[in-house]
Amino acid sequence: MNLRFFNRFDNDQLKMLLTKVTFKKVRTRSVQFFKENEGCIVVSGCLHLLTHEHDLASPMIAATYYPGDIIGIGIDNGWYQQKHSWLCAW
């Protein structure tokens, strides 16, 4: 395990990551909706955050996450929990 990965977090964030968050594996070619205390660390590949908040008929990519990025648990400013957003792996 690369411990330098965790050096970017302060102690409070690390405690939350290790005690209060449920992580789940995201399969390729899948769509994910996360609950409040779920999070995702991108280990390989990339995930796309899509939203249709502005135009229901035309979803757009709001963000792309790469290896090392963390989604959820307040680190991403709540983007993945927006009512009209979802994560997609392709």
Confidence label for 76 from pLDDT (cuts 50, 70 and 90): low
Whole-model pTM? Answer: 0.70
Domain count, the chain: 1
**Whole-number Å distance between alpha carbons of 47 and 38:** 15
**26 vs 88, more confident:** 88
Q: How confident is the model at residue 71 (pLDDT cuts 50, 70, 90)?
A: confident
Q: Do β-strands 47-51 and 60-65 pair in parallel, antiparallel, or remain unpaired? A: antiparallel
Report whether 77 contacts 53 (CB < 8 A): no
Dist CA 70 CA 2 (whole Å): 15
- Give the domain CATH number at 46: 2.60.120.10
User: Is residue 1 pLDDT above 60, yes or no?
Assistant: no
CA distance to 2, 3, 10, 50, 68, per residue, from 7 (Å): 10, 7, 8, 29, 12
Domain that holds residue 14: 3-89
User: Which one is predicted more confidently, 69 or 24?
Assistant: 69
